[in-house]
Structure 1
Amino acid sequence: MTNWRAVIVGFLVATVLGLFGLALPGLGQLAAGLIGGFVAGYMAGGGLGRGFWHGLLAGALGGIVGGLLIALVVGLAGWTLGPVGGAISGAAGLGILAVAVLVSLVMAIESAIAGAIGGVLNPDRPDRTGRGGRNTY
């Protein structure tokens, strides 16, 4: 069962650190994705597979939101330039979609690996009922 709280917290950590990571392009976003995935995996606990899954979701969510923001900026820029700008931004949108999918994949993979490490470091995190253990979900 997916712990959406862990996924959202991991996503928010990656987003906030990614904003600060703009000072170090590339490296800052890589570190943000790794730390966000680790947080998601650690919060979810339950071992390697569960941590991997939650880190993957946190990273993919970050990539999807980032791609949508880029598409929004390009769409608004095209809208302000009139019909010709709309056609140009529509053509550019296809390329941006391909880049956004690639970025989402990279962010999801790096976050999933870090999430797996977080899950391994917290294998027996109790669930909300306080029963604890690996097989209570």
Structure 2
Amino acid sequence: MSTDWGAVAVGFVVLLVVGAIGLTVPLLGQVGAGLVGGFAAGYLAGGGLGRGAWHGLVAGSITGVVITLVLAVFGGALGLAAGGPLGGLVGGGIVVVGVVITLLFAIDSALAGAVGGWLKRA
């Protein structure tokens, strides 16, 4: 099974856009972003449950990793500026939270991707 990177890219962008809009509803907005982005990636990839789940999983995982890296860099820089050498540890704490965010995006994106792939089996 080869990965349809176009479907993954669309899922990634949808995750970012819906996630940014979803910031007004903290947890529900992020879960909704994972569901919508994963569904988009799975639907565009097609091919059934497994293929859709794979594309949703990849899109959700990449989104979670990118968000984690961006937040860790900014958090670490702000921590260093505000708290000196020990303030840089803030970035490490953000990475731990980012792992949870990545898992959340990956799991719900994979489930929604499976549904999308199932709906478009061709």
Same-fold status (TM-score > 0.5): yes
How far apart are residue 95 of structure 1 and its match?
2.0
Provide closer, same or farther for how the CA distance between residues 78 and 86 of structure 1 changes in structure 2, counting only shifts above 3 A: farther
Q: Which has the higher helix share?
A: 2
One-letter amino acid matched to 2:90: A
Residues 75 and 86, structure 1, Cα contact 8 Å, conserved in 2? no
Q: What pairs up with 1:51-62 in 2 under 5 angstroms? A: 51-62=52-63
Q: Which residue of 2 aligns with 1:98?
A: 96
The structure 1 segments of at least 4 consecutive aligned residues displaced by more than 4 Å after TM superposition are none
Residues 77 and 85, structure 1, Cα contact 8 Å, conserved in 2? no
Q: Choose 22-31 or 33-42, whichever is displaced more.
A: 22-31
How far apart are residue 23 of structure 1 and its match?
1.3
Residues 31 and 104, structure 2, Cα contact 8 Å, conserved in 1? no
Structure (1 or 2) with the larger CA radius of gyration: 1
How far apart are residue 36 of structure 1 and its match?
0.2
SS at match of 1:26: helix
C-alpha deviations, 1:45-76, integer Å up to 9, x for none? 00000000000000001100110111111122
**2:27 aligned with 1:26, yes or no?**
yes
Q: What pairs up with 1:4-83 in 2 under 5 angstroms? A: 4-81=5-82
Q: TM-score, normalised by structure 1?
A: 0.83
Q: Which residue of 2 aligns with 1:121?
A: 119
What is the rounded CA distance, in whole Å, between the counterparts of 1:96 and 1:23 in structure 2? 20
Count of residues in Structure 1 that have an aligned counterpart in Structure 2: 121
Residues 36 and 58, structure 1, Cα contact 8 Å, conserved in 2? yes
What is the rounded CA distance, in whole Å, between the counterparts of 1:28 and 1:94 in structure 2? 25
Structure 1 stretches lacking a partner, 5+ long: 125-137
SS at match of 2:23: helix
C-alpha deviations, 1:49-107, integer Å up to 9, x for none? 000000000000110011011111112213434xx523222x22322211111110111
How far apart are residue 19 of structure 1 and its match?
0.7
Percentage of matched positions with identical amino acids: 51
One-letter amino acid matched to 2:49: L
SS at match of 2:26: coil
